[in-house]
Chains A and B, each alone.
Chain A
Amino acid sequence: MPVKAAKSTIRLLRLALFIGMSLPLLGLALAWHQDRLGVIPEEVVLHSLGRWGLYALLATLALGPLFRLTHRLEFMMIRRQLGLWSFVYITAHLLAWAWLELHWVWTVVWLELSQLLHLQIGLFSWLLLIPLVITSVPLLQKALGMPRWRWLHRLSYLCAAGGILHFFLLARGFRAELWLTLLALVLLIILRLLDAKWLSYKAELQVRREQTPSRK
């Protein structure tokens, strides 16, 4: 049985998450202002934003399994905010590309998009996030109904896979970080599948239990 979380704890957790997730953004802005980002600060900003977006997305996906393992409801209560943070970072990453890298020169934006696979995959993954963000509004979530909402939000796995592929296509040479993100996603998917199997097994047990008494 899930343990009920106290309202004040939840509020504190959400505030802590808000502060925690704004820190990288503020840190980057400050470092930019102080000229501490090296020779091409635009590049550092672009890469950091993308990295944080992917990490936040993977962390969001990990909250479900964490809840199921620990039965602590707190994990579920911060999931929406963390998911939205991943959208914030990934959107900022996209804007940094168009603005800091390409200075909104649309012909070049278009040329890059039409020629580079990693950009197409990246943009597609970002687009996938949009319906998830829209349906994170509680009212819309209710209107959609939980089963359909759940189904829709499985897109987040595809989105994470897209982000990791985008990262892989870009990297030169061996990068441990890349393989770690891939490993994390594979683990999360396995957990998700195991969980689905476990749920269907329990449902089956339930059905059997309901059927057995009639044997008397």
Chain B
Amino acid sequence: MERKNLLTQASAKRASPERVISRRDLIKGSAALGLAGLMPGLISTPAAARLLYGQAIASWTDGTNEEPTDQALASSYNNFFELGTGKSDPKDNAHFLRTEPWSVRIEGEIAKPGLYPLEDLLAGRTLEERIYRLRCVETWSKVIPWVGFPLADLIRRLAPTSRAKYVLFESIMDPDNLPGQRRPALDWPYQEGLRIDEAMHPLTLIAVGMYGEMLPAQNGAPLRLVVPWKYGFKSIKSIARIRFQETQPLSSWEAKQPREYGFYANVNPEVRHPRWLQATERRLGERARIATQMFNGYGDQVAHLYVGMDLSIHF
């Protein structure tokens, strides 16, 4: 691919070497810390006892071998309009998000609807650490070690009926506390949706943590969706309601700008977006742009979900 070659060339002539080194060192530093955490002799908590919400974290070997984005970067450059539209707003306004206690209303075409406290959703579950690429439609990307469990595990336990064709997710609605919800940036509460087979896909994750810690508010505490082959806005944050239904839900961005945001929102460098060229992306912490991969590089695992669909129409 000619484009790819040119991009690699560009990354060879990075702007200022000192800067790159300092950022690299940062990343290495955090990686070293992570390693120390895994070595029982070095730090008081041995690897086997890495816990989150009282659950052991099992590592997942099938993920990407890419180096995770620096933890501080991953939690200081966010889109979370409930906490403000600027990139640093979510972190600055993180304290406005009240996460305790937290329950998720689960309803619709399932055998076991109800209001589920977070603790119940987590009880008896093995949490996994999974390193996924996250690609935002605004053409920046991160590599994040999420901690969570496959959404499919939860769905199976809820016993959906045959009419559960789609899943609607809804974020917290709390305009009294969330500054962003007092402005009409979007039609609140934020909603997203998946087709049931997408929701059941083994890659689709409910995350409750990242970098071995609880999710920070700005990254969608206390629980969020992670769908790594779709643009980031599909991975809804701070989930308060899940609804199983027969009809295709209308997601918030789709409702606001249907020409720009479709229901599927699969990462696709070929489909034109009026605001951003989707062929390349900027990995946070790196200077040069890299080529964006179809389905964010998860094509082998998810392309079959869209066989026979014209992805330029179902974008």
Q: Is the CB of A40 within 8 A of B85?
A: no
Secondary structure of the B contact surface, majority rule: loop
Partner of B274, one of A100, A111, A117: A117
A103-B288, A108-B279, A173-B85 known; A40+B185 contact, CB < 8 A? no
Chain B 269-306 interface 0/1 with A at a Cβ cutoff of 8 Å (1 = within) = 00010111101101010011100000000000000000
CB contact list, A90-124 vs B, under 8 A: 100-108, 111-112, 115-118
Tell whether B81 is near chain A: CB-to-CB under 8 Å. Answer: yes
| A170 beta carbon closer than 8 Å to chain B | yes
- Is A174 at the interface (CB under 8 A from chain B)? yes
Q: Using A39-B87, A39-B284, A105-B10 as known contacts, say yes or no to A169 and B275 having CB atoms under 8 A apart.
A: yes
Pick the contact of B185: A101, A105, A173 (CB < 8 A): A173
B314 on interface, CB distance cutoff 8 Å? no
Q: Chain B residues with Cβ under 8 A from A170's Cβ?
A: 275
Asked if residues A108 and B277 are in contact (CB atoms below 8 Å), the reply is yes
In the complex the two chains form, is A103's CB within 8 Å of B289's CB?
A: yes
- Contact indicator A174/B185 (Cβ below 8 Å): yes
How distant is the Cα of A111 from the Cα of B289 in the complex, in angstroms?
14
Please tell me if the beta carbons of A38 and B7 are within 8 angstroms of each other in the complex: no
What is the total number of residues of chain B having a CB less than 8 Å from a CB of chain A? 35
B255 at the A interface (CB under 8 A): no
Is residue A7 contacting chain B, with contact meaning CB distance below 8 A?
no
Closest A residue to B14 by beta carbon equals: A103
| Given A40-B284, A103-B288, A105-B10: A173 in contact with B186 (beta carbons within 8 A) | yes
Complex Cα distance, B213 from A22, in Å, reads 45
A/B interface sample: 14 pairs, CB < 8 A: A35-B22, A39-B73, A102-B289, A103-B289, A105-B289, A108-B277, A112-B277, A115-B277, A116-B277, A117-B274, A170-B275, A173-B81, A173-B185, A174-B184
Query: Which residues in B have some Cβ–Cβ distance to A below 8 Å?
Result: 2-3, 6-7, 9-11, 13, 15, 19, 22, 73, 76-77, 81, 85, 87-88, 140, 183-186, 272, 274-277, 279-280, 282, 284, 287-289
The interface of chain A, by Cβ under 8 A from chain B, is 35, 38-40, 42, 100-108, 111-112, 115-118, 169-170, 172-174
